[in-house]
Structure 1
Amino acid sequence: MKLFYVTLLLGFSLVGSAQNKISGITSDKENKPLSNVIVSLPEIHKETISDTDGKYTLVNLPNGTFKILFSAVGYSTQTLSISFLGKEITQNIALEDNIIHMDEVIVSTAFNKLQSQNVMKVEHESVKSLQQKGATTLIEGLAKIPGVSQVSTGTSIGKPVIRGLSGNRVLVYSQGVRLENQQFGEEHGLGLNDAGVESMEVIKGPASLLYGSDALGGVLYFNPEKFANSKEFKADFSQRVFSNTLGSNTSLGIKTSTENWKFLARGSFNTHADYQIPDGNRITNTRYNESDLKAGIGYSNSKFSSVLRYNFNKLDLGIPEEGIGEQSTSHSTIYPKQAVDNHILSLHNNFYFKNSKLDADLGYIFNDRSEFTDSNVASLHMKLRTLNYDLKYYLPKLGKVETIVGLQGMHQTNKNSGEELLIPDAATNDFGVFGTANYEFGKNVLQAGLRFDNRQVSSETHGIIGNEGYFEAIDKSFDSFNASLGFKTNLADDFTLRLNIASGFRAPNLAELTSNGVHEGSNRYEIGNANLLNEQNLQTDLNLEYKSSHFEIFANGFYNHINNYIFISPNGNVIAGNNVYDYVQANAKLYGGEAGIHFHPHPLDWLHFTSSFETVIGKKDEGSNLPLIPANKWNNTFKGEFELKNWFKEGFATLNIESTFAQNNNNEFETRTNDYTLLNLGLGGKIIISKAIFNFNLNANNVFDKTYISHLSRLKTDGIPNIGRNIILGVNFII
């Protein structure tokens, strides 16, 4: 903890003189000034927007060589490398038309490159674009990205699945720190609200080189909303209503910045009744309420920058057990239910030297989870405290070689205070060191890295030997070496190939090592195995991508082999009416991929057509199917863009056809699911009335009120369908 306060003190006490400045004019290819061009230096978190004359200015820039990006909707992103050394620079830029896409800087990978420059294919989506597609929650929005799904319990609880892997095999980052919230539990959702989240990035594949244990299956990286630009004040209010759950989502935010200081705050409240299925019935106790508060303060000058952020999320979740029980439109949860308080405190520091840079991230997460069975006395109460640190040093560039070395660690404690215990009181300590290098030669990029990790897990004895709830103390150590190698090249103009080979690992979690009791959410008696080994995988990814101004096509393929894959298997015994399951291991493999097109025909400049297909197959080496493998999906969207005189701007209308195939490759303890097709509609844009400006979205999901059951729904064993038709109206006012 001392390290946290020392870095905090350093971050807000250092003083440096601002000397460097860059300014210029942004224009189109016909030399007409362009306004609203985003001019940014992502490495140092500096950004501004060109004015109505195309002029921009950035000051207080540190010495060194940095990439400056010029990006705008409808134009190709341009990147320049600029060296600063106590001087003012004038840099004009002309952008070229590109209707289909705007290149984005990828934060979740090592070198923060543009996606077009990145060795690894990373999916990037803004929260705004996902809401325009009709996403009602953050996890539902994620599931709209090809290769990503969710294990759901009604509408309130969703757990991400990346190419068939979920739970502790998918690592989640928020505010630049790893999120720890007892994610081993099937009824433990993300605990994150989309208010105050700018965008999300998905690494589909092992990312243990950068993130250590639990990134074996991939990483979800949530980027928080940006601060206001220098000398700017912004306030916004948004309201969304949902017809199916009689729900409401309200958010209010403010932010302001001076030349050096930045501040923002946002509060939101989300409330929903039980969701309704197509036959008119509601699924009892799928209601929930959520309060969320986010705040941030930052300071930067020419020597360093520091950002302190805080997020408090409070969840009141009903746990559905009756299915179609007593019908109600109340928003007040009934028993059984969960109460979850989640606190995330993060401190991100950048220290700039002449030709190098040091990033220092510190995080503290406190997850307080209670479960109430039939009274206001918690039968289950777990407190998880996690302190983590992440230090990365960017060495001076050697020719065309960029190099990063770093170390990461985590100290975590779990304490129980309820009558029931799912896992014992325990402490977990992680430590990892790594190095990675990026080499560019011509149109080719080669990236490689190596890492070592150690995880120490120790727990306390609890209970009476031979009884339910007895936990024998363990003291285990898990080590792993991992490596990655990636190559990117242009096979032809606008035609890119990416090939990545990487290993990853996951140490067994506490539930897998120590369980001894009934997991009520699963209706089974689980017995842990203290002799479990690391899961260790090796995955190969191939990405082919062609992009032009009116057409793009991509194809991703992967093969993932996992040694010592951990799963539960019934042993034939029954305890207290519950089947007994043991945690065991076997080798497994997953393979499949995603493919898609985006067509913007000329001269129909207002029309877009996108189509994507995704598939994954998961099997043990002996041939049986793995559980929780999502069904194949085919998604097609028609989007039209339009404007109406001077009062309706950035208008759009969408028609989406989402086809999910039957899942017959089910695990022997799962039920099969049938195919289904959903039709979704969307309409929105920016309305200008006098000086008032607001955005609105109107979406209709499952327009034909189709009855269906998702293969990854935890309610499917009781034959409970997913949500029926849902009309969503959202408005956003910006001051």
Structure 2
Amino acid sequence: MKSILNILLCLSIAGIQAQNTLKGNVVETTTKKGLAFVNVYIPDLEKGTYTDEDGSFNLDRLPSGNYTLIVSALGYETLSLKATIPTNTSLTISLMPSAIEIEGIIISTPFHKLQSENVMKVEQESVRDLKSNGAITLAEGISNIAGVESISTGLSIGKPVIRGLSSNRVLVYTQGIRLENQQFGGEHGLGVNDAGIESVEVIKGPASLLYGSDALGGVLYLNPERFAQQNTSSADINANYTSNTKGYSTNVGYKQSNDRFKFLFRGSLTEHSDYKTKSYRVTNTRFREQDFKAGLGYQSQGVKTEFRYNVNNLKPGIPENIGEQSTRKSPLLPFQEVTNHVFSSKTKLFFDTSSLNINLGYVYNDRKEFEEHHHDEHEEHDEDHGHEEEHDEEHEEELHDDDILEAALHMKLKTINYDVKYNLPKLGKFETILGVQGMNQVNTNYGEETLIPNALTNDFGILGTSHIHFENLDVQLGARFDHRNIEINNSLNRNFNSFNGAIGFKTDIVKNVTGRVNLASGFRAPNLSELASDGTHEGANRYEIGNSNLKNEQNFQTDVSLEYKSQHLEFFVNGFYNAVNNYIFLAPSGTEIDNTPVYTYSQEDAKLYGGEFGFHLHPHPLDWLHVETSFETVTGKQTNGLFLPLIPANSLNNMVKVELNNEWLDKGYLFVNLKSVFKQNKVSNFEDATPSYNLLSAGLGGTFMCLKRELTITLAGNNLTNKTYISHLSRLKANGIFNMGRNINLGVSYNL
């Protein structure tokens, strides 16, 4: 591998071109007047600038090649165009006025950068918008995207669900690499803080062609914040207060860029007490999270590279029953302490008519779990004194000091992964990418308890995909082969192989109406827990026994989508049918071990079907008024007629939003939102039905100048009627524990 990279580096040096300049002018289509403060951005180079007062722009130090240029401005339709560098001509770009919001750049799929050009449908939301709606955590925020929900264990632990599929069936990417942090566990969270995350992209459907195993159900792609634009610097501080938990989150960041080098860093701290329902606080849902992100980039002579690092330390309590009522933030037993280190590097080599992407990553996950029975001497100490309530806080501190040395369950997961893709020269109507991906993963136990054994996992995949441009039709197709080897405790050795493909079509049926059809297969190899677990999961209160004879999950999904988009109305309908062979599920065996119910893993063919539809109206001349509605539904069944577990209930989301902009207020808004969740009675034979409920939310915010700097203030209220309800995807549902009650979230952001 090293020799191959050396050869490629030599080739890149041989193909170096003089650094080039791209100049142009952006004007309004109707008046032909220059537009100021328009963002002109080249995604492949992650390089951009803004137009001056006359609409002119200048991008220098550009390597030779063919690039996509994204031109965007508030109040105008986002434009994507091809630019060949070097060029001797100055570009003139016209933008059409539009009330539609600025279209974001899609990173998770190849070839094209705007969703309107993609053959595969991708949902994208900025983290800023998710937070402005009152989301406390990233896992809670993504549940506002149609077709996406979250399995929660309290407030700190949330797992993404895409069209009814979760756990290892949804692959999470961060910093351009796959995130591996024992994500199969029901009480394991994302392990990523929203500070330093710019946007979230969701691929709803099999993405094994691009990402391999574990992308059978879809991909959650987290885009880190961009570096500062060339020869600029910025700093900001952000704080949020949450009334329900008496909690807060705060972060500060700085970034700077010159002609060649760029860097950034961001640190954050979050603490929350037990969340409150209408009647009680849910004991031990408190948590503390520390996060630090840093990045270093360099670009010159046909090479663009960046290195990023993220360390996240999360200490969440594991809720069991309603007990102590307090607003302290130190978790009680049982609790976890999880430290996640993510190292990544992204390098792109530019040749005359092609390019090479090399992404490398290392993820080190250190997971500890502390349980009650390791501290009998402390409990006796409290009984002798007879003043348990008076010594609670001191007692908690003693437990924490001892627990650092006495974790009952302690696992370290170390993962090295690589992703190399070569963008071939464009051949007629064909754009083609060839690639290899792989992973080496080691799981090691250090605690006295062993739930998942020591194991070694090796992955290797090879892929090819092409985009074909016809006059009125775009076609994307590809194929991939994967091999996974899992060696457990030097005793069990399993190999899993899979061949997968995908084909998609996109066409403009009539003016403003776009149709997409995607057919794709995906697979997922059984994870370590499913193959070899043998122990008690404290958070789930069950004894789990693996099945070493499990086969690959293999699926085939059909997606159909129809979109209408005009200047003042957007409408979409998405439908899917997903057939999954050898679906793996956990079910009670009817027996007990140590007074704990035993659950075992089985397989059965299954099918999931449903979709989403919605509209967005911003009527003329009331362009400041937005009315949005979306509905999502999914049904999951085994071939034996039984329903699958943990399938989200149907829901309807209605929002009215008003945009407020004037001389002193920028990006101002006011919204009212009603989410209606319907009764979920299509449940598995070991689940209970969940009643329907309605949640009312509202908020406002905006940006204005304070001491010549931008100050942004947001205020959002969720569950304003203080409704007592239980989500079907709450793991506290079995104990009859309600979800969070009324909450007011205040956010402040200041550019230093």
Residues paired across the two proteins, number: 720
Q: CA deviation at 1:102?
A: 2.2
Partner of 1:157: 157
1:648-659 counterparts in 2 under 5 A? 648-659=665-676
* Structure-2 residue corresponding to 1:404: 433
The one-letter amino acid paired with 1:77 is T
Amino acid at match of 2:457: T
Q: Give me the whole-angstrom Cα distance separating, in 2, the residues matched to 1:710 and 1:8.
A: 52
1:725 matches 2:726: no
Contact 2:430 2:466 in 1 (8 A): yes
In the aligned structure 1, how far is the partner of 2:264 from the partner of 2:465?
A: 34
Alignment of 1:121-270 (within 5 A): 121-270=121-270
Provide the rounded CA distance (Å) in 2 between the counterparts of 1:139 and 1:148: 10
Q: How much has 1:131 moved relative to structure 2? A: 1.2
Q: Tell me the distance in 1 between the aligned counterparts of 2:307 and 2:7.
A: 11
Q: Deviation of residue 625 (structure 1)?
A: 0.3
Q: Is 1:577 the equivalent of 2:606?
A: no
Question: d(CA) in 2 for partners of 1:652 and 1:485?
Answer: 41
Aligned equivalents of 2:72 and 2:88: distance in 1? 22
Under a length normalisation based on structure 1, what TM-score does the superposition of the two structures give?
Answer: 0.95
Aligned residues of 1:17 and 1:301 also touching (Cα < 8 A): no
| Superposition pairs of residues 469-480 of structure 1, within 5 angstroms | 473-480=491-498
> What secondary structure is seen at the aligned counterpart in 2 of 1:658?
strand
Residue 297 (structure 1) aligned with residue 296 (structure 2):
yes
CA separation in 1, counterparts of 2:88 and 2:265?
Answer: 34
Displacement of 1:572 after TM fit?
A: 2.9
Q: Does 1:513 align with 2:531?
A: yes
CA contact (8 A) 1:48 1:230 kept: yes
What residue number does 2:699 align with? 682
1:34 aligns with: 35
String of CA shifts for 1:212-271, please: whole Å, max 9, x gaps: 000000000000000001110100011111100111111100000001111101001111
Q: Does 1:52 align with 2:69?
A: no
Q: Which deviates more from structure 2 when the two are superposed, residues 356-365 or residues 75-84?
A: 75-84
C-alpha deviation, 1:81, in angstroms: 1.4
Q: What SS does structure 2 have at the residue aligned with 1:44?
A: coil
Q: Secondary structure at the match of 2:353?
A: coil
Match among 355, 370, 373 for residue 372 of structure 1: 370
User: What amino acid does structure 1 have at the position aligned with 2:480?
Assistant: R
Q: CA–CA distance in 2 between the matches of 1:240 and 1:419?
A: 39
CA contact (8 A) 1:539 1:561 kept: yes
CA distance 1:608–1:184, change in 2 (3 Å): same
The residue aligned with 1:465 is none
Question: What letter matches 1:82 in structure 2?
Answer: A
Aligned to 1:467: none
Aligned match of 2:683 in 650, 654, 666?
666
What residue in structure 1 maps to residue 717 of structure 2?
700
The residue type paired with residue 725 of structure 1 is R
1:308 aligns with 2:325: no
Deviates more, 1:103-112 or 1:371-380: 103-112
Kindly provide the amino acid, as one letter, of the partner of residue 454 in structure 2.
Answer: D
Deviation at residue 133 of structure 1 after TM alignment: 1.6
TM-score normalised by structure 2 residue count: 0.93
Tell me which residue corresponds to 2:118. Answer: 118
SS in 1 for 2:144: coil
For 1:41, the aligned partner's letter is: I
Q: 2:464 aligns with which of 424, 429, 435?
A: 435
Question: How far apart in 2 are the matches of 1:667 and 1:510?
Answer: 24
Give the 3-state SS of the residue equivalent to 1:92 in structure 2. strand
1:647 aligns to what?
A: 664
Identity %: 53
Contact between 1:43 and 1:112, CA under 8 Å: does it hold in 2? no
**Aligned residues of 1:452 and 1:481 also touching (Cα < 8 A):** yes
Secondary structure, counterpart of 1:442 in structure 2: coil
- 1:343 paired residue number: 341
Q: Which amino acid aligns with 1:327?
A: Q
Cross-structure match for 2:605: 587
Tell me how far 1:7 sits from its aligned partner.
11
1:72 aligns with 2:73: yes
How far is 1:603 from its partner? 1.3
Tell which deviates more after alignment, 205-214 or 648-657.
Answer: 648-657
Closer, same or farther: CA 269–8 of 1 in aligned 2, 3 Å: farther
SS of aligned partner of 2:530: helix
Partner of 2:514: 496
Q: 2:298 and 2:6 mapped to 1: Cα distance?
A: 16
* CA distance in structure 1 between the aligned counterparts of 2:263 and 2:320, rounded to whole angstroms: 44
Match of 2:325 in 1: 327
| Corresponding residue for residue 618 of structure 2 | 600
Q: Contact 2:133 / 2:699 at 8 angstroms: preserved in 1?
A: yes
Which moved further from structure 2: 7-16 or 32-41? 7-16
Could you tell me how far apart the structure 1 residues matched to 2:599 and 2:710 are? Answer: 58
2:543 pairs with 1:525? yes
Q: Is 1:424 the equivalent of 2:453? A: yes
Cα offsets for 1:506-545 (capped at 9, x unmatched): 0000111112222222222222111110000000000100
1:569 offset after TM fit, Å? 2.5
Q: Encode CA deviations 1:612-665: one digit per residue, 9 max, x unaligned.
A: 000000000111000000000100000001134x22222100000010001000
Say whether the 8 Å CA contact 1:20–1:88 is kept in structure 2: no
Task: Output one character per residue of 1:267-317: Cα deviation in whole Å (capped at 9) or x when no partner.
Answer: 0111101100012x2111100011110000001124110010000101111
For the residues of structure 2 that align with 1:215 and 1:428, how far apart are their CA atoms? Answer: 17
What is residue 642 of structure 2 aligned with on the other side?
A: 624
Residues 1:609 and 1:527: Cα distance change in structure 2 (over 3 Å)? same
Structure 2 counterpart of 1:101: 101
Out of 574-583 and 441-450, give the one that drifted further.
574-583
Deviation by residue 1:30-66 (Cα, 9 ceiling, x = unmatched): 1232222111111222211223332211111111211
What is the DSSP-based 3-state SS (H/G/I as helix, E as strand, rest coil) of the residue aligned with 1:131?
helix
Provide closer, same or farther for how the CA distance between residues 9 and 364 of structure 1 changes in structure 2, counting only shifts above 3 A.
Answer: farther
Distance in 2, matches of 1:270 and 1:570, equals 37
1:13-38 deviations in whole A, cap 9, x for unaligned? 99956421111222222123222211
Deviations 1:350-395 (A, max 9, x none): 0000110100000000000000113511000000000000000000
What is the Cα deviation at residue 88 of structure 1? Answer: 4.6
Q: How far off is 1:689 after superposition?
A: 3.6
| Residue type of the alignment partner of 2:125 | E
1:67-103 CA-to-partner distances (Å, cap 9, x unmatched) read: 2111112211112212113x55411212111112322
Q: Which AA in structure 2 matches 1:459?
A: I
CA distance in 2, matches of 1:78, 1:363: 33
1:384 aligns with 2:422: no
Aligned position for 2:388: none
Amino acid at match of 1:369: R
Give the counterpart letter for 2:124 in structure 1. Answer: H
1:725 shift after superposition: 0.6
- The Cα RMSD (Å) is 1.9
2:481 partner amino acid: F
Q: Distance in 2 between matches of 1:15 and 1:365?
A: 34
Residue in 2 that maps onto 1:466: none
The SS at the match of 1:43 is coil
Measure, in 2, the Cα distance between the counterparts of 1:521 and 1:194.
24
Aligned counterparts of 1:13 and 1:729: Cα–Cα separation in 2:
52
CA distance in 1 between partners of 2:103 and 2:7 (Å): 34
Which residue identity does 1:37 align to in structure 2?
V
> Is the counterpart of residue 710 in structure 1 residue 708 in structure 2?
no
Once the two structures are superposed, what CA deviation does each residue of 1:135-187 show, in whole Å capped at 9, x if it has no partner? 11111111000000000011110000000000000000000000000011111
Can you give the 5+ residue segments of structure 1 that lack an aligned partner in the other structure?
A: 462-472
